Amino acid sequence: MDDVTEAEGLLEFLYAAPVGLVQIDMSGDIAMINPHAMKHLLPLAQGRDPGNLFAMLDRCAPELRNMLEAFEPSRGSVCDGHRIMVDLAPPTDGADPKVLACTVVKLDAERAIACLSDVTLQVAQERRLKQAETWFASLLNDVNDYAVLSVTADGLIDAANASWTKQSGYSCDAAVGRSMADLFDRTAGAGAIAVCEQLRLAARDGWHLAEDWHERLDGSRYWCQRLLAARTAPEGDLTGYTLVLRDVRRDSQDAHDLRRLLTEDHLTGAANRARFQHVLDRELKTWRETGAPLSLLMIDLDHFKQVNDDYGHLAGDAVLRGFAETVAAAIRPTDLLARLGGEEFAVLLPATPLEEARSIANELRTLIEDMRTVSGPHRIAVTASFGCAVASGQDVLARADEALYVAKRSGRNCVQAARPAAIAA
Amino acid sequence: METSVVTIAQLSFDTIDLAELEAMAEGERDGLPFGVVGVDHQGTTQVYNRTEAAMAGLDRESVLGSGFFETVAQCMNNFMVAQRFEDEPTLDEIIPYVLTLRMRPTRVRLRLLARAGAPLRFILIER
């Protein structure tokens, strides 16, 4: 009787635990799972096998399978608090986009335990605090770390302090007279806001914070945090800007690795969901403020499950890597390729009207069609379907998705574009 | 005794209605071959039949009076089940679902039953 009571007590404990627990084998098949875990996972499964953790997470965290596979030690922590961005855009009911944190521990060669918790609120709070933190961090740091440039209302540099030379290698004379855009736009990473836009935002809001790569005179790069503050005359007219620069990373491999881990998809090197969400959000803001057309491609590899079934997961992974390499090499530096799900990708195309997006999509479609992935004795050919949409006040993600669905339905290996008017009609 | 057994056999998962469930005595609901859970408008478990207790591996007495969606059935505490009772005062729908009975993923059919003004909402669980 005591054994029964104890077993019931343990079950009650696991049923009520406010955190998700899942025990899996190396292929993700679930041996045990508690209700809290299923509460979060089942809505994500969308018809995929609810008996397999990786299948249920494939749409929004395909990297977990690769992370466990790539973990060589026989036991230990595979990831700790790894974030799973469930919603790419804020839900229509005004709630914060859902985020789960996932910790995976490998127990032995056959078993791993995953722990899932909902960190939506923490992430939303972090986001709200981040700008303030960045601001305070730059205030509290040693004054010697600052490089200060003075910028005219037209965006030309008219003075620089000694720290500027220390930080960037450029002499003060070499900077003065050049435009800020000339110094900073060239080395900016994909998805960065152009300097002219930063100047406009700073003039409007009083200040603008940015973080990006900057190249020193000797060609080496550093991660640079920039505060651009507008200077105004007492009557309110813009007289110029003060640009404060901080070298916030010391080119360490650790920092680079950490950044990659946080922004890149583990398998393909494309941007991950978190990075995509961040850049999409920012590009939509730019679109609202400037009206420059913002296009989005949603891409899905056709019959990808068949590739996995016929040639195995490793071959499937090689196809995904080949796809990402091919697309990344073909798009412009300002475009952003992201992996959104198992075989689902997106390309964000700033300053691109729909017609141009459609022709880019067609070029990519041809490249993918011609691509061959070598896996053992096989040369695997795949095709992809494309949905394009341009930001127009309605949800650009949903409309690109809808166009993708049409492309899938009309035979795959094709491009479909959603026109706001056509959708509304 | 005989007649009551026959009656119960005819009350199937798909056809039994809310009024019949409400009218049944605890012992009769225990005799049904599927799980029966009744939850009031505060989310408190008021009905938990023997079939369901056996499938879940729990003691009925410890479940009765507890918050169903918090302590026993968190896996239903999402927009697919719990939220529907909040949004739809009258509801009769069968959905395929996956529960974690005794921590094993288990495919089941759920039947969600609610009627405006009724004190209890019922969830039927068929393995």
Q: Which of B87, B100, B106 to mutate to test the interface with A (most CBs of A within 10 A)?
A: B100
Task: Report the mean per-residue pLDDT for chain A.
Answer: 87
pLDDT digits (tens, 9 = 90+) for A338-390: 999 999 999 999 999 999 999 999 999 999 999 999 988 899 999 999 999 99
CB contact under 8 A, B75 and A8: no
Pairing between β-strand A384-390 and β-strand A415-418 as defined by DSSP bridges: parallel
The answer to whether the beta carbons of residues A252 and A63 sit under 8 Å apart is no
CB contact under 8 A, B105 and A15: no
Could you give phi then psi for residue A123, rounded to 5 degrees?
A: -65, -40
Cα B46 to Cα A8, A16, B32, B67, B72, distances in angstroms: 19, 18, 17, 10, 13
User: Would you state the structure tokens that stand for residue B121, as one six-digit string?
Assistant: 């909402």
Which residues of B, range 37-56, sit inside 8 Å of A by Cβ? 56
CB contact under 8 A, A39 and B59: no
CB contact under 8 A, B100 and A33: yes
| Cross-strand bridge partners of residue A345 | A299, A339
Residue type, A151: V
> Which residues of chain B have a CB within 8 Å of the CB of A43?
78-80
Please compute, for residue A127, the number of CA atoms within 13 A of its CA located in the half-sphere on the CB side: 12
In this complex, the residue of A16, A32, A50 whose CB is nearest that of residue B103 is: A32
pLDDT digits (tens, 9 = 90+) for B53-86: 999 999 999 999 999 999 999 999 998 999 999 9
Other C-beta atoms lying within 10 Å of the C-beta of residue A239: 10
CATH class of A2-124: alpha beta
For B73, which residue in chain A has the nearest alpha carbon? A35
What is the model's pLDDT at position A47?
Answer: 84
Decide if A2-124 and A263-424 have a common fold: no
Gap from A30 CA to chain B (nearest CA, Å): 7
Classify A68 as helix, strand or coil: helix
The Cα–Cα gap between A203 and A157 comes to 16
The Cα–Cα gap between A280 and A96 comes to 16
> Which residues of chain B have a CB within 8 Å of the CB of A39?
74-78
Instruction: Check pLDDT > 90 for residue A225.
Output: no
Averaged over A230-248, what is the pLDDT? 86
pLDDT digits (tens, 9 = 90+) for A51-76: 999 999 999 999 999 999 999 999 99
CATH number of A263-424: 3.30.70.270
For B81, which residue in chain A has the nearest alpha carbon? A39
Helices A313-330, A304-311: crossing angle, 10 deg rounding: 140
Classify B92 as helix, strand or coil: strand
pLDDT digits (tens, 9 = 90+) for A65-107: 999 999 999 999 999 999 999 988 777 777 788 999 999 999 9
What is the model's pLDDT at position A270?
Answer: 94
Torsion over CA: B16, B20, B22, B23 (sign): negative
Gap from A353 CA to chain B (nearest CA, Å): 37
Beta-carbon pairs below 8 A across chains A and B = 71
The answer to whether the beta carbons of residues A232 and A238 sit under 8 Å apart is yes
CB contact under 8 A, A35 and B79: no
Gap from B82 CA to chain A (nearest CA, Å): 11
Which 8-state DSSP code applies to residue A264?
Answer: B
CB contact under 8 A, A38 and B98: yes
Domain boundary assignment for chain A: 2-124, 141-251, 263-424
CB contact under 8 A, B72 and A16: yes
Gap from B67 CA to chain A (nearest CA, Å): 10
CATH number of A141-251: 3.30.450.20
Closest CA to B33 of B1, B15, B8: B8
Instruction: Check pLDDT > 80 for residue A240.
Output: yes
What value, to the nearest 5°, has the Cα angle with vertex A20 and ends A17 and A26? 140
> Which residues of chain B have a CB within 8 Å of the CB of A40?
78
Gap from A13 CA to chain B (nearest CA, Å): 9
For A34, which residue in chain B has the nearest alpha carbon? B103
φ/ψ region of A103 (left if φ > 0, alpha if ψ in -120 to 50, else beta) reads: beta
pLDDT digits (tens, 9 = 90+) for A321-336: 999 999 999 998 889 9
Gap from A364 CA to chain B (nearest CA, Å): 38
The DSSP line for chain B is -HHHHHHHHH--TTT--HHHHHHS-HHHHHTSSSEEEEEETTSBEEEE-HHHHHHHT--HHHHTTSBIIIII-GGG-STTTHHHHHH-SSEEEEEEEEE-GGGS-EEEEEEEEE-TT-SEEEEEEE-
> Which residues of chain B have a CB within 8 Å of the CB of A36?
74-75
> Which residues of chain A have a CB within 8 Å of the CB of B76?
35, 39
pLDDT digits (tens, 9 = 90+) for A393-410: 778 999 999 999 999 999
What is the model's pLDDT at position A142?
Answer: 47
The answer to whether the beta carbons of residues A270 and A343 sit under 8 Å apart is no
Give first-to-last CA distance, chain B, whole Å.
27
User: Would you state the structure tokens that stand for residue A105, as one six-digit string?
Assistant: 């521990």
Confidence at A39, pLDDT banded by 50, 70, 90: very high
CB contact under 8 A, A39 and B76: yes
In this complex, the residue of B57, B79, B100 whose CB is nearest that of residue A35 is: B100
Which residues of B, range 60-119, sit inside 8 Å of A by Cβ? 62, 70-80, 97-100, 102-105, 107
CB contact under 8 A, B78 and A43: yes
The Cα–Cα gap between A43 and A98 comes to 12
Instruction: Check pLDDT > 90 for residue A264.
Output: no
φ/ψ region of B108 (left if φ > 0, alpha if ψ in -120 to 50, else beta) reads: beta
User: Would you state the structure tokens that stand for residue A242, as one six-digit string?
Assistant: 């003060």
Gap from B73 CA to chain A (nearest CA, Å): 6
Which domains are seen in chain B, by residue range?
40-127 (3.30.450.20)
Q: Which residue has the tokens 């507008």?
A: A230
A71-95 burial, b at 16+ Cβ within 10 Å, e below that, comes to: beeeeeebbeebbbbbebeeeeeee
CB contact under 8 A, B105 and A35: no
